[in-house]
Amino acid sequence: MTQQQMQELLNVPERTLRDWKKGNRAKLYQLLKSLDYNQAEQLLSMSNNNDLKKLLENEKYFTSLRDFEKSLYPILVSRRDSSVWSKLAKDNTLSKEARARSAYLYSFLTDKLVELSFKTKVNVGFYYGNKSETGNGLVRVYGLTNGIDMARFNQFKITGRF
């Protein structure tokens, strides 16, 4: 990463970066220099859970299943800790549907079940606009009618695109 990219990404003055380079933060500067700009940008965006809540409350933010999947799948294959989905399943500020979706994602990624504090018959799809039912037993545990489309998800994991 160049010094200009560091400045843009971290929103710090150029003088600060020069001080880091020559001072006691030289290791930090070298670390930043060795990072790829796009990867660093992605890592910085991973610290915010608002993007995850947006995915869980998908009926408020997405108008098509494809847009929803384009936002969800990169997060699922990233190195983000899957325990965040378990925490969001217990977050009372989210709707019951979003909490059920979060519990499903945690179970999907870890093969561990999450006990929800409400009755699990929410009877919505993982994506609100997807009306087709799947026979997936894992989604039924959380009261959802369908889950992740495994064919498209596997295609994304292998190729990185749809």
Q: How does pLDDT run across 13-37, given as a tens digit for each residue?
A: 989 988 988 888 889 889 888 988 8
pLDDT at 99 over 80: yes
CA distance linking residue 39 with residue 51, whole number of Å: 17
* Model confidence band, residue 54 (pLDDT cutoffs 50, 70, 90): very high
How wide is the angle at C-alpha 96 spanned by C-alphas 93 and 102, nearest 5°?
85
Angle between helices 150-159 and 65-77 (to 10 degrees): 50
pLDDT at 41 over 70: yes
More confident position, 42 or 4: 4
* Dihedrals phi, psi of 124, to nearest 5 degrees: -130, 165
Mean pLDDT confidence for 25-52: 82
Torsion of CA 62, 41, 80, 140, to 10 degrees: 10
The pLDDT score that the predictor gives to residue 120 is 77
